[in-house]
């Protein structure tokens, strides 16, 4: 399906020879004129070159973007001041070609860290990329930002007269020395007076709730553009929905994953507490290996929750694995384990629902199972 | 080697039939009379029955213990009030046999959670266990507390006229629905006026610095007994050394592990910060799979440190893998990677040393590599 971008936006992707094997690795998203934009960057202290450069540009423009360029295969991270200069130089070249200010061009990188960008290849790719940009280009864009992803990730929604699209790659946690998760959200809706606050709320309920192994990356970035051409305000719930579907897709495509796992935590004192417990369960190697073994292991789930730092009484908690209640108020139900096993064995998307019995708030977090294939991929990645 | 216990202590271990396969599973450590003792328990909210019971006993006695009984194979966890009563009943029976107060007998459990103790078997084992207790019994004791450990863990030291011994099993983190890490330290030295504070300091620098996968358990307990018979004060540094060697032994015996990894963090603003960075590196699946692949992957180590919550500048940091400096002040050294690879490939005990360049404090944390065998063990454990 060739997804049409919201009005006023065009995209493209092509192979510029940055990756070792021939594959699309340079992507472009352009707006017909500078549009309101916001970004959320990694909280890591180790930063890819694009993070400080793009953050400064957004500050200087007050959040306006004309074009977003992305390369995959090289993260331009741990490359020092030279790497930041490389980033600026590429963006300036593209700005010259588009006839806009260099501050209105953001250039993001993802891939292996510790190596300088192949500047000739990146610069040579700009012209054909601009030529190729078109309203149907999101699929090409989404393929050209992939690194070890096994499939591109695109989502869309129509809500209240505005179009929303999103594309993402990788996962903030799963990838080795890849610097890793990139998310793009674009709409012809109006972003309102505070796009940054809007995006922060959306990300807190989507990308920040996806985890594969707890390892965050130096290049993680989520970017939101809004052309405003639809004449209506963007619908926050719909935007959150698109972002959540992308976040789920990232977990489902986790390295070596065979199951997408939704960890739903209910009965929490507040949403932050529910999220914290959910993240602790979702990053537990013991829980994730149990899912790989199709084992409805209530003990590992409750034990992970019990060390999350959120006060609750395990003897008031209840756990469902899919349709099967395996643990109620401190008591396991061995007779329910067959139905739980069946859920884990037969469904590609499985659900753990833990009710803490400590309040009325809830939250969902997404993860995947931990398989031997994950270890193989990450033990053999560079060798 | 039959390790002699400090004067005034005796130990034994035997098979009481608690484990499915016939293996030692009931262990005893007795003092000739009640002696000063201290304990550190898990911080999990999910607690094995012995945790609240033993904590209350130590409060009532002001920290005096006559006997420590341990069973392996069943954690007596998620067994509710009945499980706590089982614990009290066994301890009372042993106290009756020894002629002491039930509060002076601590009964610890480790093993599978969610099942009641086989009370007949445990009670029937008490008499032969008391009969078997002897000064040379530590080896038997250490074997009878094992669950999925591949080898017993015993350490000793002689320092300033006092004897120190220690035994431990499992790991606070590695084991599945086992409830897991138990550590025992005993000496004929005097514990001084504040045994609990002494033990807390020792544990913070030893067992709390060992991690296999970040999963803590509901039964984790470290116990310290001091008979005082040597007439000298126990040497804290020597006690810490014994505890550290046990902590290292636990990491080295991590499930599926092929490498013991010492993560040394130097140049930190303070010791707590160094420990926090060390723990984050030591629990990173990406770092641990890299070690499994013998990959001196500086990027994963620095990226893990950069998300630990401790402020430092990655461009001021330096990383050594064994004898090889692979990263200096933001710049990787590809030419050093062969020597680093050789270190990882040829040594069973490997070392990562990260200097943050942000202070003068340091700390070491112990972990192991993450292999496909870990996943296999934990995915197949209950099925």
Q: Model ipTM?
A: 0.81
At residue A154, the pLDDT reads: 92
CB contacts of B319 in chain A (<8 Å) are none
Q: Which of B45, B284, B331, B338 would best serve as a mutation to test chain A binding (most A beta carbons within 10 A)?
A: B45
Q: What is the mean pLDDT of residues B373-380?
A: 85
Q: What is the mean pLDDT of residues A36-55?
A: 93
DSSP A99-166: TS-GGGEEEEEEEESSS---HHHHHHHHHHHHHH-BTTTHHHHHHHT-SS-SS-EEEEEEETTEEEEE
* Residue of A297, A302, A371 with shortest CB distance to B46: A302
With an 8 Å Cβ cutoff, are A176 and B307 in contact?
A: no
Angle between helices A236-252 and A195-204 (to 10 degrees): 40
Distance between CA atoms of residues A212 and A174, nearest Å: 5
With an 8 Å Cβ cutoff, are A80 and B371 in contact?
A: no
With an 8 Å Cβ cutoff, are A379 and B292 in contact?
A: yes
Give just the sign of the alpha carbon dihedral B277, B240, B196, B62: positive
How many residues does the structure list for chain A?
383
Residues 6 or more apart whose CB falls under 8 angstroms from that of B223 comprise: B37, B38, B39, B65, B68, B106, B108, B182, B183, B184, B185
Distance between CA atoms of residues A57 and A193, nearest Å: 19
A61-65, A93-97, A339-343, B369-373: range with lowest mean pLDDT: B369-373
Rg of chain B (C-alpha set): 21
With an 8 Å Cβ cutoff, are A177 and B297 in contact?
A: yes
pLDDT digits (tens, 9 = 90+) for A179-212: 578 999 999 999 999 999 999 999 999 988 887 7
* Fold of the A260-380 domain: Ubiquitin-like (UB roll) (3.10.20)
Q: β-strand B26-41 against B64-74: which pairing, if any?
A: antiparallel
Whether the predicted pLDDT of B173 surpasses 60 = no
| Interchain contact A43–B (C-beta under 8 A) | yes
The distance of B226 to chain A (nearest Cα, Å) reads 31
At residue A159, the pLDDT reads: 82
B 183-212 near A (Cβ less than 8 A): none
User: pLDDT category, B381, cuts 50, 70, 90?
Assistant: low
pLDDT digits (tens, 9 = 90+) for A325-369: 999 988 899 899 999 999 999 999 999 999 999 999 999 999 999
- The mean predicted confidence, pLDDT, of chain A is 91
Whether the predicted pLDDT of B53 surpasses 70 = yes
| Interchain contact B292–A (C-beta under 8 A) | yes
The distance of A295 to chain B (nearest Cα, Å) reads 7
Distance between CA atoms of residues A259 and A292, nearest Å: 8
At residue A2, the pLDDT reads: 60
Whether the predicted pLDDT of A73 surpasses 50 = yes
| Interchain contact B311–A (C-beta under 8 A) | yes
| Interchain contact B213–A (C-beta under 8 A) | yes
Q: What is the mean pLDDT of residues B154-182?
A: 76
Q: Which of B286, B300, B330, B340 would best serve as a mutation to test chain A binding (most A beta carbons within 10 A)?
A: B286
Whether the predicted pLDDT of B303 surpasses 60 = yes
Q: Bigger pLDDT: B379 or B97?
A: B97
Q: What is the mean pLDDT of residues B193-221?
A: 86
Looking at chain A, list the stretches that DSSP marks H as alpha helix, in order from N- to C-terminal side: 50-61, 80-98, 119-132, 138-144, 195-204, 236-252, 271-283, 285-292, 298-306, 337-346, 372-380
pLDDT digits (tens, 9 = 90+) for B230-279: 999 999 999 999 999 999 998 898 888 999 999 999 999 999 999 999 99
Whether the predicted pLDDT of B172 surpasses 60 = no
Burial class (CB in 10 A: 0-12, 13-18, 19+), B359: middle
Strands (E), B23-152: 26-41, 64-74, 105-112
CB contact at 8 A, B64 and B104: yes
User: pLDDT category, B2, cuts 50, 70, 90?
Assistant: low
User: pLDDT category, B1, cuts 50, 70, 90?
Assistant: very low
With an 8 Å Cβ cutoff, are B292 and A375 in contact?
A: yes
Question: B76: closest CA among B120, B38, B105, B107?
Answer: B107
Whether the predicted pLDDT of A379 surpasses 60 = yes
Whether the predicted pLDDT of B58 surpasses 70 = yes
| Interchain contact A330–B (C-beta under 8 A) | yes
Whether the predicted pLDDT of A175 surpasses 80 = no
At residue A383, the pLDDT reads: 40
CB contact at 8 A, B29 and B59: no
For A217, nearest residue in chain B (alpha carbons): B303
For A378, nearest residue in chain B (alpha carbons): B289
**Domain locations along chain B:** 9-252, 260-380
Above pLDDT 90, what percent of chain B? Answer: 76
Distance between CA atoms of residues A101 and A53, nearest Å: 14
At residue B214, the pLDDT reads: 64
* Fold of the B9-252 domain: 3.60.70
For A216, nearest residue in chain B (alpha carbons): B307
A8-22, A192-206, A225-239, B165-179: range with lowest mean pLDDT: B165-179
CB contacts of B312 in chain A (<8 Å) are 45
- Enter the tokens of residue A144: 């050209």
Q: How far is CA A92 from CA A99, A101, A105, A120, B74, in A?
A: 10, 8, 8, 14, 66
Q: What is the mean pLDDT of residues A118-133?
A: 98
Q: What is the mean pLDDT of residues A107-117?
A: 92
At residue A254, the pLDDT reads: 85
CB contacts of B303 in chain A (<8 Å) are 44, 46, 113, 177, 179, 215-218
With an 8 Å Cβ cutoff, are A176 and B286 in contact?
A: yes
- The mean predicted confidence, pLDDT, of chain B is 91
From the list B42, B79, B163, B180, the catalytic residue is B180
* Residue of A179, A293, A313 with shortest CB distance to B379: A293
């Amino acid at each position: 399906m060739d997804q049409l971008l919201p009005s006023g936006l065009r995209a493209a992707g092509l192979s510029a020879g940055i990756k070792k094997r021939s594959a699309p690795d340079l992507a472009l998203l352009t707006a017909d004129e500078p549009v309101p934009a916001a970004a959320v960057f990694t909280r890591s202290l180790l930063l890819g070159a694009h993070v400080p450069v793009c953050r400064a540009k957004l500050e200087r423009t007050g959040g306006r973007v004309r074009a977003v360029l992305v390369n995959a295969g090289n993260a331009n991270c741990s490359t020092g001041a030279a790497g930041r200069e490389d980033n600026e130089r590429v963006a300036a070249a593209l700005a010259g070609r588009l006839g806009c200010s260099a501050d209105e061009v953001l250039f993001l990188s993802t891939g292996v860290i510790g190596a300088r960008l192949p500047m000739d290849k990146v610069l040579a790719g700009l012209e054909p990329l601009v030529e190729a940009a078109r309203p149907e280009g999101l699929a090409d864009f989404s393929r050209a930002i992939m690194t070890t992803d096994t499939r591109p990730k695109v989502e869309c929604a129509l809500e209240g007269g505005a179009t929303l699209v999103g594309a993402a790659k990788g996962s903030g946690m799963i990838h080795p020395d890849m610097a890793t998760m990139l998310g793009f959200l674009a709409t012809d809706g109006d972003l309102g007076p505070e796009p940054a606050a809007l995006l922060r709320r959306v990300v807190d309920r989507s990308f920040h709730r996806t985890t594969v192994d707890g390892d965050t990356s130096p290049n993680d970035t989520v970017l939101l553009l809004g052309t405003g051409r639809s004449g209506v305000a963007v619908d926050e719930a719909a935007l959150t929905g698109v972002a959540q579907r992308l976040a789920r897709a990232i977990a489902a495509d986790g390295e070596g994953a065979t199951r997408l796992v939704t960890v739903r935590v209910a009965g929490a004192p507040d949403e932050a507490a529910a999220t914290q417990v959910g993240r602790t369960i979702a990053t537990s190697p013991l829980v994730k290996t149990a899912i790989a073994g199709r084992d409805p292991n209530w003990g590992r789930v409750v034990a992970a929750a019990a060390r999350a730092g959120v006060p609750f009484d395990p003897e008031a908690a209840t756990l469902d694995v899919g349709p099967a209640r395996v643990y109620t108020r401190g008591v396991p139900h061995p007779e329910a384990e067959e139905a739980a096993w069946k859920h884990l064995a037969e469904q590609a998307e499985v659900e753990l629902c833990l009710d803490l019995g400590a309040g009325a708030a809830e939250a969902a977090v997404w993860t995947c199972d931990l398989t031997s294939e994950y270890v193989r991929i990450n033990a053999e990645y560079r060798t």
